[in-house]
Structures are given as C-alpha cells and as structure tokens.
Amino acid sequence: MISIDQMATVLDALPDPAFILSRSGKYVAVFGGRDKRYYHDGSNLVGLYIADLIKPDKAQWFIDRIAQALESRKLLIEEYELGSRDVKGLPDDGPENPIWFEGRIQALSFSVDDEDVVLWVASNISERHALEIKLRELSDTDQLTGLFNRRKLEHDLALHHESYLRHSAPTSILMFDLDNLKKINDSKGHHAGDQALQTVASICRAELRKTDCACRFGGDEFVVALPNTELEQAMQFAHRLHDRLREELSLFAVGGVVITASMGVTTLQPEDRTFEDSIKRADQALYEAKNHGKDRIVAA
C-alpha cells in the first residue's frame, strides 16, 4: 500500500501540471508540472482565483468548462490557447504565438470549503498544434502556386452556401482560365508556364481581401470565392483582376502570342441546391467567354 507521503511524491513528480479547481475557479491545490521545458512552478497559485490571473472573457471560459464537467460527471477534454492578451499584468505585445494546451477536466467526488471541485490536468500541446496546422495547410494548398486547392475551395463554398440559405449572405464566384498558356509552354517550356501560374497566384494574393478564397482548380483554371459580395461588386473585382492579369502576363508573350484570362462570374442563387450548381454556372459563363473570343468576362 502506498503511503500518503509517497502518493504526494508521485503527484508532485507528474510532468504535466494538475490543478484542483473549485466551481468558482479557486486554485485549491497544484501538483506536478515538473517538465521545465514547458511549465513554471505553480505552487504560488494556491488560494488565488482564475479571475485574479486571467482577463474576464477567458476566465469565464474556464469557469464554464468547470461547470460543464461538474454537471456531466464525465471526463471533459478541451483544447485551448493562452497568450499575453489573456493574462492580466502582461503587455499585449508579448510573445507572438500563444501557448496551446489540452485540458482534461474531471469532477471529483468530494468538496473543499463547501464547493464542488474538479481535477484539471493541463498538457502543453503547442508543438503538436503547430504541426497539425502545417499539415492542414499542406492538405489545403496547391504546391506550385501556394494558393488553396480544390479541396479547400469546396469546403469553404459549402459553408458559404449554408450561410446563404440561413442568412441570405451573398457569395459570388469568379472562375477563370489562362488563354494561350499551352502555346507559351510549347514555345518556352513548362518552366515558363509554371512562372506564369505563380504570377497569377501573386496577383490574386495582392488583389483579394483576407476573407476571399483563391484556389487553383486544376491546370490553368482558377476559382475565387468572394463572400459577402453581390454580383455587381464581383464584376467590378473581375474587371480589376482581368486588367492586372493582362498587364503582368504580357511579360510572357512570345511571337505575338499573349497570355490572357477568360472569366465567368456568378453569385449564389435561391435555386442552387448545392454550391456545385453555382460552380457549374460559373463554368458555363467561362465557356461562353472562351467561345466568344477569349480575353473577356461573362456574367451568369
């Protein structure tokens, strides 16, 4: 049988910190946290409240998680971040990246000072979180251009379509491809074609808002999703992008052959059953632009 002293030694040796927290957010006891790569000594927290250390909105988040664990009596697992903007007494211009934790919260069967308590074990998962973000970015990104890929676009358009159905939030779609890129590839080689595609990507990044999503749809075809944008605004953007593409892609001209862009523009409509209906309509508008001489914009 392990003695009380031995059990205290075991708890104190835990690599991750374990907190006994009351329903009101009081630090009743602190154990572990011996992995000095990630944690400081937390013994001075005992007797303080979360609200003494953390700014109100974030403190309330912790209190809500404690209440949830106490009500459910089940293990609650939450991922959360803590940055300089969350902690009282620290400048807002502290470390650029917050620390990410996985919290495992379990209601305990006893109370302290007439308050229910939970065990909260906090594990630093910042490295894992950064790796997950990197892997997610790789899975959503076209390797040649650095723009999003079709998978990411379809995910975003599905969300925009749902928002349109629920809240009538407009989203417009611009689809374009590059005229004469194959001729440039045949004359100058695929390296020149790749440079042209990368130039398109740079122009898109410069012209788009943060909320917009530009994607390489395949080959020399691109799609731009413009949330909160009506068709008239989308057409204005399309003309601006079209002019910029014509200007900068002229550098790849050879023997009088110039790379231009043909564009189809549409917006989500009530009869669209899914976002794919919108994509098909933009594709049809693009097809019309190609058939009517290329280097032009058609709205649908």
Q: Are residues 153 and 293 in the same domain?
A: yes
Last residue of a domain, one of 131, 152, 186: 131
How far is residue 296 CA from its own chain's centroid? 33
214: domain CATH number?
Answer: 3.30.70.270
| Amino acid letter, 57 | D
| For range 22-26, the mean pLDDT | 97
Tell me how many domains the chain contains. Answer: 2
| For range 172-196, the mean pLDDT | 91
| For range 256-270, the mean pLDDT | 94
Pick from 269, 271, 251, 273: nearest CA to 260:
251
- Side-chain-facing half-sphere of 290: CA atoms under 13 Å: 13
Using DSSP, state whether 155 is helix, strand or coil. Answer: helix
Checking if the pLDDT of 241 tops 80, the result is yes
* Burial degree of 114 (CB within 10 A; 0-12, 13-18, 19+): exposed
| For range 169-184, the mean pLDDT | 94
Q: Are residues 211 and 174 in the same domain?
A: yes
Checking if the pLDDT of 185 tops 90, the result is no
Q: Is the pTM of this model over 0.85?
A: no
Q: Tokens 């990410």, residue?
A: 100
Q: Are residues 211 and 270 in the same domain?
A: yes
Checking if the pLDDT of 95 tops 60, the result is no
Checking if the pLDDT of 91 tops 70, the result is no
pLDDT of residue 11: 85
82: domain CATH number?
Answer: 3.30.450.20
Q: Cα torsion for 158, 164, 166, 168, to the nearest 10°?
A: 170
The string of pLDDT tens digits covering residues 114-124 is 999 999 999 99
- For residue 122, what are the domain limits? 4-131
The string of pLDDT tens digits covering residues 40-87 is 888 899 999 999 999 999 999 999 999 999 999 999 999 999 988 888
pLDDT of residue 94: 47
Q: Cα torsion for 215, 284, 238, 270, to the nearest 10°?
A: -90
| For range 94-109, the mean pLDDT | 86
Q: From residue 92, how far is each of 56, 101, 124, 278, 280 by CA, in Å? A: 15, 20, 21, 43, 47
The string of pLDDT tens digits covering residues 126-157 is 988 888 777 776 678 898 999 999 999 999 99
Distance CA 233, CA 187 (A): 37
Task: Look at residue 159 and tell me if it is in a domain.
Answer: yes
